[in-house]
Structure 1
Amino acid sequence: MEKKRTDDSEPGPVPPLRLDRFGFLKQEPSPDGLPKGRSAFECEREERRVRKWRKMIGVGGSDWKYYLRRKPHVVKRRIRKGIPDCLRGLVWQLISGSRDLLLMNPGVYEQLVIYETSASELDIIRDISRTFPSHVFFQQRHGPGQRSLYNVLKAYSVFDRDVGYVQGMGFLAGLLLLYMSEEDAFWLLVALLKGAVHAPMEGLYQVGLPLVQQYLFQFDQLVRDQLPKLGEHFTEEMINPSMYASQWFITVFSYSFPFHLALRIWDVFLHEGVKIVFKVGLALLKYCHDDLVKLPFEKLIQALRNFPEDAMDPDTLLPMAYSIKVSRCLEDLKHQYDKKNGKNLKPSKDEKPAG
């Protein structure tokens, strides 16, 4: 008589991946074991916002420039409240100027991906698995997400051989690929690094990271001016912004911050420029100020790299950030930095007196 199998050698059904609404693997189940859905009120409110936005941008973005010229304050206010997720990719392309770049350069992306070679190809391949490793789109080795990310980064490294490829660029490209096609993501990367609307970002990735050095100098002075007690504590504990804030600028908060917060920051960043990175950084320090001023060096470093969950709530943090004025100070500090480093003094595109 044939014996029944009692071993566990046959695999059972594979449980489905538990993902959050953005496609990231969930770390822990919600207390009742079920994903928390949105209430009917929240869904209805979101639908109303989407209708407003569709009316504002028109079919395929056809009314965008007209509306922006006519009602810039309405656009700014709505962007600061958050772009509806279903329209985010299109709106990002419109506000960054990348849609125009794409239309002016037909076939260029395909040429860069298929026919050109890059000195950075091995570096890009090595780093790809480090970009959003917990997102379902990028998880599979050599899967569609990783291939798209490779293509965009390789194309940029050929398009701008002076910059080539630097690791932090993967987080920018990866974030964009979650909301648009490869070609669209490539041209938005070009718009950012070359400065289609705001000051060029390429200095964040050039040899010696010159723009990172400038931003850290400016941020350090802003902390001393606006949060003097904390600035003094940082001096006593020998803390400088390069120990905690470099990634804020290099990846625009997309590296280690909650994704829902990073998206809201990116909405504003693409419209208003890099000053939002300074504002959010200052708002975080201000929010945690009373705890940070008590901490010794090791705990301080840890706290500056791991902010508490309540500090990361966009609806708390961002209004606080919007209330902080930095533009005039940033302009003055850039002149100081240039003078200190013997550079020609030229105003940047982001230097405006308000906000």
Structure 2
Amino acid sequence: MEWKRSGEFEPGPVPLAKAVDRFGIGKQEVNNSPEGLTKSRLVIEQEREERRVRKWRKMIGVGGSDWKHYVRRKPHVVKRRIRKGIPDCLRGLVWQLISGSRDLLLMNPGVYERHGPGQRSLYNVLKAYSVYDRDVGYVQGMGFLAGLLLLYMSEEDAFWLLVALLKGAVHAPMEGLYLVGLPLVQQYLFQFEQLVKEHLPKLGEHFSQEMINPTMYASQWFITVFSYSFPFHLALRIWDVFLYEGVKIVFQVGLALLKYCQDDLVKLPFEKLLHALRNFPEDAMNPDILLPMAYSIKVSERLEELKQEYGNSIGKPVQPIESSGKQIQALKQKQMSARR
């Protein structure tokens, strides 16, 4: 097949613009046949989304002014709504409210600008963080996190949310995922391997026979919180829950994926098994099926036990994670001291 040079291009009919969903991703045309429903699926989805947006706006208040009060009064309602998915038009603001990064920004005016503005957004955020935290610096996986955050907020907001995540303003600090030797990745993979054996013993045994371990397929799940190579709409739903509930959702989703595909995985030899674990089928990535399955898998208590087991196995007992209130307070005090 020969390609025409640019000077030989002959214009043809211009294709009609393809319909896109609320993320800007192309979608199939809606069938408006007389036999169909009175309202198209698209219209129904839009109306449902508008109702959800109204509920969320009422819950968080103007600019998030009512958020903390609502979380204290009705935490179960907040958790339920987050698990259903944060409305896309409010996702950036809610992520900042959940993580506490807005408090860090307000307490540190001007810090972000001092770290070299003027370059592209992703470079700006990652470069600023490498200057802010020289112990961590920059590690490749951080780019996926920062890139996702920048889709929903400004550079400065994304920078402070990255700080909140890595320093543990709300949940366990993520910086151990990126330190030399990836110590937190090693801990998570140890925990995950044990959970697979306990929740999916048949598959766990097959993995052992084929000499498959989580290092071969699950490292990126934890390093990027599924923002690498997973469908965008699924990654967003996972991140909604991750920011509110912590890293346990990564374990739950990983186990749910394996559970969903278990019957096929146990039949595969090493090469095909490894390929399958890195390329899950499209139907397994449906958040409305996968996430309820993940929520049903209880892992919190066992994760804490396995964390202690891992600490003992390496001769470095892992200390219990501080409550979110103590973490954010310690981080705020550190920032205030740095400004003096």
| Alpha-carbon contact 1:199-1:350 (below 8 Å) kept | no
Counterpart residue number, 1:256: 229
Match for 1:39: what amino acid? L
Q: Residue 107 of structure 1: which of 95, 101, 110 is its match?
A: 110
| Alpha-carbon contact 2:308-2:317 (below 8 Å) kept | no
| Alpha-carbon contact 2:96-2:161 (below 8 Å) kept | yes
Give 1:344 shift. 3.4
Give 1:19 shift. 8.2
Q: Residue 343 of structure 1: which of 293, 298, 316 is its match?
A: 316
- Which is worse superposed, 341-350 or 230-239? 341-350
Q: How does 1:159-178 map to 2 (within 5 A)?
A: 159-178=132-151
Q: Distance in 2 between matches of 1:112 and 1:15?
A: 45
Q: Distance in 2 between matches of 1:188 and 1:274?
A: 16
Residue 184, structure 1, aligned to residue 157, structure 2:
yes
Equivalences, count: 311
SS at match of 2:112: helix
Give 1:114 shift. 4.2
Q: Residue 299 of structure 2: which of 299, 307, 326 is its match?
A: 326
Q: Distance in 1 between matches of 2:19 and 2:45?
A: 20
Q: Distance in 2 between matches of 1:149 and 1:331?
A: 35
Counterpart residue number, 2:244: 271
Residue 203, structure 1, aligned to residue 162, structure 2:
no
| Alpha-carbon contact 1:18-1:25 (below 8 Å) kept | no
Match for 2:83: what amino acid? R
Give 1:12 shift. 4.0
Residue 73, structure 1, aligned to residue 76, structure 2:
yes
Q: Distance in 2 between matches of 1:46 and 1:233?
A: 43
Counterpart residue number, 2:266: 293
Residue 280, structure 1, aligned to residue 279, structure 2:
no
Structure 1 residues 321 and 240, CA gap change in structure 2 (3 angstroms):
same
Residue 311, structure 1, aligned to residue 284, structure 2:
yes
Q: Distance in 1 between matches of 2:164 and 2:83?
A: 21
Counterpart residue number, 2:8: 9
Match for 1:176: what amino acid? L
| Alpha-carbon contact 2:19-2:29 (below 8 Å) kept | no
Give 1:273 shift. 0.2
Q: Distance in 2 between matches of 1:107 and 1:148?
A: 17
Counterpart residue number, 2:338: none
| Alpha-carbon contact 1:64-1:94 (below 8 Å) kept | yes
Match for 1:84: what amino acid? P
Structure 1 residues 17 and 346, CA gap change in structure 2 (3 angstroms):
farther
Structure 1 residues 350 and 301, CA gap change in structure 2 (3 angstroms):
farther
Give 1:77 shift. 0.3
Q: Residue 150 of structure 1: which of 115, 119, 123 is its match?
A: 123
Structure 1 residues 213 and 148, CA gap change in structure 2 (3 angstroms):
same
Q: How does 1:27-42 map to 2 (within 5 A)?
A: 30=28, 39-42=42-45
RMSD: 2.4
Q: Residue 47 of structure 1: which of 50, 63, 83 is its match?
A: 50
Match for 2:98: what amino acid? I
Q: Deviation digits for residues 257-284 of structure 1, max 9, x if unmatched?
A: 0000000000000000000000000000
Structure 1 residues 18 and 316, CA gap change in structure 2 (3 angstroms):
same
Give 1:112 shift. 1.3
Q: Residue 203 of structure 2: which of 223, 226, 230 is its match?
A: 230
TM-score normalized with structure 2 length: 0.86
Match for 1:9: what amino acid? E
Structure 1 residues 338 and 225, CA gap change in structure 2 (3 angstroms):
same
Q: Deviation digits for residues 11-55 of structure 1, max 9, x if unmatched?
A: 7488798684366675xx74799xxx8522221111110000000
Structure 1 residues 339 and 52, CA gap change in structure 2 (3 angstroms):
same
Q: Distance in 1 between matches of 2:225 and 2:175?
A: 13
Counterpart residue number, 2:332: none
